[in-house]
Amino acid sequence: MADAKILVVEDEPTVAEFTEILLETLGYTVSAVVPSGEEAIQKAAETNPDLALIDMMLDGNMDGIAVAEQMRDRFDIPVVYLTGHADEELLQRAKITAPFGYILKPFEERRLHLNIEIALYRHEMEKKFKESEQWLSTILKSIGDAVIATDKNGCVTFVNPVAEALTGWRQEEVFGKDLAEVLNVIRDGTRIPIKNHIMKALQQEIVAGQTEHIILIARDGREIPIDYNATPIRDGKENITGVVLAFRNITKRKQVEQRLTHTAEALRNQARILQSILDSIGDGVIVAQKNGEFLLFNPDAERIIGIGPTDVPPDEWVEAYGMFLPDTVTPFPTDEHPLIRAIHGKASDDVEMFIRNPQVPEGVYISVTGRPLQDESGVLWGGVVVFRDITDRQRAEEALAQAYTQGRLEVVDAILHNIGNAINSVTIGIGTIYENLVSNKLTRRLVALANAIKGHQDDFSSYVKNDPEGPKVAPFIQALAQDFIKQDEKLAKTVNRVQDRAEHIADIVRMQKSLGRRSVYRKDIALRKTIDDTITVLGDSIRGRDIQIHIDCGNAPKTIRTQESQFHQMLVNLVKNSIEAIDELSVCVGLNQVPSIKIRCYVELDSLILEVTDNGIGIEADKFGVIFGGDYTTKKSGSGLGLHSIATFVQSWGGEIAPISGGIGKGVTMRVRLPLSSVTP
């Protein structure tokens, strides 16, 4: 270290000057040359030298040894003594200061250089060693594990704070004690002391990760479950110089392990119970991941649909399992499949479908409910469906429908009678129109007039004024015009009657078809758009009567899930009934206010409410219970099937329909309630 700074403490001027010159010749920097100990301490504080050359025999209150002591204690500056004496007592004092060398006066350049370089190197190595020692000590004191070190004889040389806390022994108390006295460990259960792990470490074997049932008996008698590692300490020549033991308190881990054991057993019991339930409930249960991989396919699921889990992707499930709409012909829409909807995060309720495949050739009807599966953070990971065989119920309903049809023969006869009467009326009306068109006397009279006028077209003005027949022309034309007006009115009434009868026939046929057709296929529809479409369908009737329409869907779902055509037909029938009620009031007593129809949708508790309110003829309270019968009507040309079909549709969805009216002339509100769970997507 040629650039090192050196402080020279020498009270002989000649020696001091020589030493300074020699040091500068060797390339060192002389930070100061002082003759006394007091000045040396001051300069050391000011210049912070890398090494001090100190004469052991200084004049004054401080000799060189006292100065060296302060250099070491206060500034950590290495010292090399300069001395012309070898007094034994002086040397013994000097040793205590741990000098880095002695140079006897007079000295030569080479000896001075060698001593300085050795001193600087040793001091640098000692600093690094101390830093490493402090770093290691800090780590050992701050880590969470307890650490004990021994020498090669098994005597304790170090104990960190965690080890002190666990064993109850302090560092100053255990230094030099036998490890077995400080670290008293036994096997849990047998209570046999354990020493072989330490002996193995002393025999150059590393003992790591002990997971046996080991108990530490602390100084105060506490018993602490621990695990530990034992590692031999080796010197630079690979000789064993001691052992390091690292151990930790595993009380909490034991408690956690015990709880985990109990939890695992409880989960196994729950799994066994759940499996027993799934194997015995009679319903099919299928669980699938987002990618379509089946995680659960219980025996009843395979029994009902005939085929167990397959490797086909979700978009091939419909074909692989033979899934159809309840009409048994139309393949079930893939994107409406309850399990596919579930793994995409959407729920389904009571979706009916028909399964037919080689394993169930006769087919089976099932009702399916699906739900998405999410983890605790709400992340979708799969879906589950639960379904049951409803074939018997389906067959029973079909039989009931047949019986119901048989029981309504009288109603059908009445319907056919109405259709017959309507057809007769249409036939008569058409005949009347035909007869008037073929043998129209007014037309012949008009032709005769035209011929008479044609014969006098050159002197028509003179003919009207001067001919005896002329004055008859104007009254004849006026009378003929009146006759044409009367004939047109008569024909218009006949055409209107024919049109009304034709519409009546169409209504009867349409309603009868609706009653005879059953479909449970549902889809998501926009509620407000469906209402708007209804108003569009009946637009001519509404505009022709100047009826004001008010729609309020502010507190209703934007989308509902239902059978689209039947729901739309229900709305059409409700609004059409309101239009006819307004007409009836206008005919009976006349309207004293602007005709209006209000359609309101909202959620009430667990139901979707649909109300259609008009200011028409109203309903008497004693008729509330009979208006939904298939043969009830107040209109001369009515079939009575409109409200009946509405009630049938509403009841099929588990809902209710009821009229609200103050009586005749006070309008009516038809209130439909549908369970929210049955129409919520």
- At residue 293, the 3 state secondary structure works out as coil
Q: In the structure, what pLDDT confidence band is assigned to residue 352 with cuts at 50, 70 and 90?
A: very high
pLDDT for 202 equals 59
Look at domain 281-399 and name its CATH class.
Answer: alpha beta
Going by C-alpha positions, the residue among 179, 184, 218, 181 that lies closest to residue 201 is 179
Residue with tokens 């893939």: 334
Q: Which of 50-59, 308-317, 381-390 has the lowest mean pLDDT?
A: 50-59
Going by C-alpha positions, the residue among 625, 675, 629, 631 that lies closest to residue 648 is 629
pLDDT for 450 equals 73
SS3 content of the chain, % helix, strand, coil (to 5): 50, 25, 25
Q: Which of 186-200, 370-384, 393-407, 549-563 has the lowest mean pLDDT?
A: 393-407
Which range has the top average pLDDT, 247-261, 516-530, 554-568? 554-568
The distance in angstroms from the start CA to the end CA of the chain is 85
Average pLDDT in the 319-340 region? 93
Question: Which residues lie across from 547 on neighbouring strands?
Answer: none
Q: In the structure, what pLDDT confidence band is assigned to residue 586 with cuts at 50, 70 and 90?
A: confident
Which range has the top average pLDDT, 94-108, 192-206, 438-452, 535-549? 535-549
> Going by C-beta distance under 8 Å and a sequence separation of 6 or more, which residues neighbour residue 181?
none
* Dist. CA 613–CA 599, nearest whole Å: 7
pLDDT higher than 70, residue 572 = yes
* Dist. CA 207–CA 209, nearest whole Å: 7
Q: Domain 519-679: which topology?
A: Heat Shock Protein 90 (3.30.565)
* Dist. CA 406–CA 413, nearest whole Å: 11
Q: Which of 41-55, 75-89, 436-450 has the lowest mean pLDDT?
A: 436-450
Q: Domain 143-249: which topology?
A: Beta-Lactamase (3.30.450)
Which range has the top average pLDDT, 29-38, 110-119, 366-375? 366-375
Q: Which alpha helices (H) appear in 456-472, and where do they start and end?
A: 460-466
Structure tokens at 254: 């034991």
pLDDT for 638 equals 47
Check residue 333 and report its DSSP letter.
Answer: P
Intrachain domains 5-138 and 281-399 with the same fold: no
Going by C-alpha positions, the residue among 299, 293, 292, 256 that lies closest to residue 277 is 299
pLDDT higher than 50, residue 514 = no
pLDDT for 404 equals 45
pLDDT for 165 equals 85
pLDDT higher than 70, residue 385 = yes
pLDDT for 89 equals 65
pLDDT for 513 equals 52
Q: Which of 296-305, 397-406, 642-651 has the lowest mean pLDDT?
A: 397-406
pLDDT higher than 70, residue 665 = yes
Q: Which of 139-143, 361-365, 622-626 has the lowest mean pLDDT?
A: 139-143
pLDDT higher than 60, residue 442 = yes
Residues 524-537 as b or e (16 or more Cβ within 10 Å = b): ebebeeebeebbee
Q: Which of the two residues, 46 and 426, has the higher pLDDT score? A: 46
pLDDT higher than 50, residue 414 = no
Average pLDDT in the 601-622 region? 90
Mean pLDDT over each residue of the chain, to the nearest integer: 79
Which range has the top average pLDDT, 16-25, 226-235, 300-309, 556-565? 300-309
pLDDT higher than 60, residue 519 = no
pLDDT for 179 equals 82
- At residue 29, the 3 state secondary structure works out as strand
Average pLDDT in the 449-459 region? 71
Q: Which of 318-322, 490-494, 526-530 has the lowest mean pLDDT?
A: 490-494
Q: How many helices (H) and strands (E) does the chain have?
A: 23, 24
**Could you tell me what percent of the chain has a pLDDT over 70?**
76
Q: In the structure, what pLDDT confidence band is assigned to residue 515 with cuts at 50, 70 and 90?
A: very low
- Provide φ and ψ at 3, rounded to 5°: -95, 10
Q: Which of 76-90, 191-205, 390-404, 446-460 has the lowest mean pLDDT?
A: 191-205
pLDDT higher than 50, residue 447 = yes
Displacement of CA 32 from its chain's centroid (Å) = 77
Q: In the structure, what pLDDT confidence band is assigned to residue 199 with cuts at 50, 70 and 90?
A: low
Going by C-alpha positions, the residue among 128, 114, 124, 76 that lies closest to residue 98 is 76
Output Rg (C-alpha) for the chain, integer angstroms: 56
pLDDT higher than 50, residue 410 = no
CATH classification code of 5-138: 3.40.50.2300
Domain ranges of the chain: 5-138, 143-249, 281-399, 410-512, 519-679
Q: Is 513:551 a contact under the CB 8 Å cutoff?
A: no
Q: Which of 20-29, 81-90, 340-349, 396-405 has the lowest mean pLDDT?
A: 396-405
Average pLDDT in the 627-648 region? 62
User: Is the CA virtual torsion 623, 627, 632, 633 positive or negative?
Assistant: positive
**Could you tell me what percent of the chain has a pLDDT over 90?**
22
pLDDT for 532 equals 92
Which range has the top average pLDDT, 77-91, 191-205, 305-319, 466-480? 305-319
Q: In the structure, what pLDDT confidence band is assigned to residue 652 with cuts at 50, 70 and 90?
A: confident
Structure tokens at 144: 């969470």
